[in-house]
């Protein structure tokens, strides 16, 4: 998957690199090697925006209704793949017609290792620690955005750390007719990759639809997702960046 992702990203930019990190996993006591994939798209702008999604998937289906399946890995069509799919399409669209900002695409590993929060978001934390201060104006995280019934509320940590960005993003979504999917109301607090970036001073919002019954189960498969939902999020992010004053 890592090599496939690198190959996909290389179709759109020459600047693709992997970032290796390792972690001693409490579940096995063994060292797990992980890799972020980072792709820079420089368009000669002053401002650089970070777009991110996790490409790893939960190694254990802890929430499965069937106890026999709880030690199996999940496929993660929504929890993982949906965000990656939209980012790859945005890379294609931005290569075809550059936005007024530079964009770094970050595909994080180790978001969903677990079982607990202290062994999650590992790739994002690694990236955030090594990011040059002041490099990124802000970040937008895409996670679980493929649900057929897509409703993305304003996630609470995003409001806490980056209220202005949340407001601007939702306003733009409304302007382009997507308020059905981006209602003007706040949701819950969700720990996710954006916390690591916010902690390092990069204001980052989380676009996430956490109302998904198949979360961390073996039933998180592509029949629960829809191409239309991916398009909605892709258009919302694309339009937002194209309307930025970056130069």
Per-residue contact flags (x/-) with Zn ion for residues 106 to 125, judged by CB under 5 A = ------x-------------
- Check binding of 193 to Zn ion (CB under 5 A): no
Helices (H) and strands (E) counted in the chain, each on its own, are 6, 6
Cα distances (angstroms) measured from residue 103 to each of 39, 91, 197: 8, 9, 16
Minimum distance from CB of 74 to Zn ion (Å)?
8
CB-nearer residue toward Zn ion: 112 or 125: 112
Following DSSP, what letter does each residue of 212-241 receive, concatenated?
-TTTTSTT--GGGB-HHHHHHHHHHHHHHH
- Give the residue with the Cβ less far from Zn ion, 105 or 215: 215
Reference 59, options 17, 114, 98; nearest CA is 114
Minimum distance, C-beta of residue 53 to Zn ion, in the bound complex (Å): 12
Q: Convert residues 69-108 into a mask of x (bound to Zn ion by CB under 5 A) and - (unbound).
A: ----------x-----------------------------
Shortest Å, Cβ 232 to Zn ion: 21
What CA–CA distances, in Å, run from 209 to 86, 112, 140, 225?
Answer: 15, 16, 14, 12
Residues that bind Zn ion (CB under 5 A): 79, 112
């Amino acid at each position: 998957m890592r090599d496939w992702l690198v190959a996909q990203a290389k179709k759109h930019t020459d600047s693709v690199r992997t970032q290796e990190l390792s972690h001693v996993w409490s579940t096995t006591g063994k060292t797990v090697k992980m890799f972020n994939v980072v792709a820079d798209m420089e368009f000669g702008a002053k401002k650089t925006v970070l777009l991110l999604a996790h490409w790893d998937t939960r190694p254990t289906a802890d929430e499965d209704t069937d106890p026999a399946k709880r030690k199996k890995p999940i496929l993660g069509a929504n929890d993982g793949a949906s965000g990656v799919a939209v980012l790859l399409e945005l890379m294609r669209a931005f290569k075809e017609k550059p936005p007024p900002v530079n964009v770094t695409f970050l595909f994080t590993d180790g978001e969903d290792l677990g079982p607990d929060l202290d062994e999650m978001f590992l790739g994002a934390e690694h990236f955030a620690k090594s990011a040059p201060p002041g490099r990124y104006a802000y970040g937008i995280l895409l996670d679980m955005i493929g649900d057929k019934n897509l409703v993305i509320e304003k996630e609470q940590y995003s409001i806490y750390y980056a209220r202005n960005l949340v407001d601007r993003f939702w306003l733009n979504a409304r302007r382009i007719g997507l308020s059905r999917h981006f209602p003007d109301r706040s949701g819950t607090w969700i720990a996710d990759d954006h916390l690591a970036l916010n902690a390092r001073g990069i204001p980052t919002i989380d676009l996430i639809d956490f109302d998904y019954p198949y979360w961390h189960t073996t039933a998180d498969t592509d029949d629960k997702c829809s191409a239309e939902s991916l398009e909605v999020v892709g258009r919302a992010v694309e339009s937002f960046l194209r309307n930025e004053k970056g130069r």
